[in-house]
Amino acid sequence: MSKLYARLIGFFIALALAGTVLAADAWRAKDYKQWDSKDVDKILNDSPWVKVVQIGKYWTTPRAPGATPAEGGPPPTGSTGAASTYTVRWTSAVTMHHAVARNAELNKQGSTDDAEQYANAISDTYDIAVIGDTIPLGALDTTDVIAKVQQAASLGNKDAGQSFPAVKLDLGRGPDGHTVTAITFHFAKKNADGAPIFAPDAKGADFTLKVGKFELKAHFDFTKMIGQNGLDL
């Protein structure tokens, strides 16, 4: 599962800043094998499982080697008042798995077997991916920093007034194989007593990631996260 995820996370990253298109709720109206590129784009970028969050940029992003500022544009290191955009996806949902697999098929990326395996995989945790500039989170190349970021993430059950920590995280890297462009946080589906962290009638959840001055929040509305077989988390 982890190797397959690593191979397919690039599909998420590639679509992180893609434009969205108008489409019906294909995830309920059609089998995923019938989804076209517009359906997939809609699900990955503008569906109830996806939130786009903007954060005022107080940090600087190093310029790529050899890069020069675009004429008339902002400097690559950022400036006061600039905003950094983050895409937050509830990736453990079956609908999201189907969208990633279908995207792979449509773009002929990876093998058909890998896509099929990912489409049918059921995660044993609730998984939330954060895609965007990870500079403000620190250098994610030591166990101490990675542990600090993991501990800074939580998934709140607003109905019960509870908050749960991430049990692990995975790093997704860009084309250079080094730059971290996505972090997936995994949350246990049950608490220490073995009871589900979300009751069947739960209305939603709040994801929070706070590291120093950096704070990202995303609310997910369970009443809208409905797939073909009901609530899809």
Q: What is the pLDDT of residues 104-150, one digit of tens each?
A: 889 888 778 888 888 888 999 999 999 999 999 998 988 999 999 99
pLDDT for residue 9: 53
Q: What is the pLDDT of residues 27-81, one digit of tens each?
A: 998 999 999 999 999 999 999 999 999 999 998 877 655 444 333 333 444 444 5
Question: How is residue 179 annotated by DSSP?
Answer: S
Question: Cβ(95)–Cβ(227) under 8 Å?
Answer: yes
Residue 19 has pLDDT above 60, yes or no: no
Question: Cβ(198)–Cβ(190) under 8 Å?
Answer: no
Strand ranges in the chain using DSSP code E only, listed in sequence order: 50-56, 83-90, 125-131, 153-157, 162-165, 168-173, 180-188, 204-211, 214-221, 226-227, 230-231
pLDDT for residue 231: 95
Residue 79, C-beta contacts closer than 8 angstroms, at least 6 positions apart: 57
Q: What is the pLDDT of residues 87-115, one digit of tens each?
A: 999 999 999 999 999 998 898 887 788 88
The residue written with tokens 């709720």 in the block is 25
